[in-house]
Amino acid sequence: MTRSNRPLFTDDAGRRDSKLVESALAGDQKAFERLVEAYERPAVATAYRLLGNTHDAMEVVQEALLRAYRSLDRLKEPSRFGPWLMRIVSNLSLNARRSRRSGTTVTLDEQLGTEGMVTSNGRPVTTSVGPSQQIEGRELQEAIDTILDSMPEKQRLSLVLFAIEGWAQKDIADVLECSVENVKWNVFQARKKLREQLGDILLD
């Protein structure tokens, strides 16, 4: 579900969003539905990468869209609807990860991106792990989450959106309202922190 590096927040998209936001505020329900159609897929993909399963991702995106709809009149720059929505999605996803830490963990197949994949003869791709490996995986995930939680917001989101979701740096800069150089610096610092606390082998 990783998206390509093709920019999502183009000038044309900004002009379209500006008109749609204005129409939605004037009472045109279909205008907001068009905004949903434009961003629902990348929003779900991002939430999925952060949460590890489709059900939780869909719930987060629905909550984000509801919040966006209720707060639409407080959006100062209608042309920035896309970055604004994706920032809501990213923050809600990270909050959900934090709150469920003691609950269900992400499967190894999901972490490795093999969930739903099949072999050449049509058989599902599976990853077999023993109890000790499951414990190690859970402990590793908890350690990563703890480190992510300790990072400044822009550093954390820069790393997640760039390294995990594969976003274009310009899109990340739009979401975080900073320069592309600042995104690069945040990714560098976040990776450095992970290496220092987890070891180089985890990022090979």
CA distance 149 to 147: 5
pLDDT value, residue 136: 58
How far is Cα 117 from Cα 7, in angstroms, rounded to an integer? Answer: 27
Question: Quick one: average pLDDT of 195-200?
Answer: 75
The architecture in CATH of the region 143-204 reads Orthogonal Bundle (1.10)
Domain at 9-110, CATH class: mainly alpha
Question: What pLDDT digit, counting tens, does each position of 12-36 carry?
Answer: 999 999 999 999 999 999 999 999 9
The residue ranges of every structural domain in the chain are 9-110, 143-204
| Average pLDDT for 107-121 | 39
pLDDT band for position 165 (cuts 50, 70, 90): confident
Q: Which of 114, 119, 32, 38 is nearest to 72 (CA)?
A: 32
Name the more confident of 60 and 195: 60
CA distance 137 to 200: 17
**When comparing pLDDT for 204 and 91, which is higher?**
91
Q: According to the model, what pLDDT value does residue 98 have? A: 72
State residue 126's pLDDT score: 40
Please give the backbone phi and psi of residue 118, each rounded to the nearest 5 degrees, phi first: -130, 160
The position carrying tokens 């917001």 is 153
Lowest-confidence range among 9-18, 51-60, 107-116, 124-133?
107-116
Closest C-alpha among 175, 158, 174 to residue 166: 158
What pLDDT, on a 0 to 100 scale, did the predictor assign at position 162?
Answer: 86
Q: Which residue has the higher pLDDT, 111 or 187?
A: 187
> What single letter denotes the amino acid at residue 121?
N
The DSSP call for residue 130 is -
Per-residue pLDDT band at 103 (split at 50, 70, 90): very low
Higher-confidence position of 3 and 186? 186
What digits encode the pLDDT tens for the residues 127-139? 344 444 454 566 7
Question: Amino acid identity of 49?
Answer: R
Q: What is the spatial distance between Cα 97 and Cα 61, in angstroms, rounded to a whole number?
A: 14
Per-residue pLDDT for 71 more than 60? yes
Partners of residue 124 on adjacent β-strands: 118
Could you say which DSSP state residue 129 is in? -
Q: Are 144 and 198 in contact (CB under 8 A)?
A: yes
Across 60-64, 156-160, 162-166, which has the greatest mean pLDDT? 60-64
Identify the residue whose tokens are 């920019």: 7
Question: Who wins on pLDDT, 114 or 62?
Answer: 62
**Residues whose CB falls within 8 Å of the CB of residue 6, separated by 6 or more in sequence, listed in order:** 168
Name the phi and psi angles at 46, rounded to 5. -65, -45
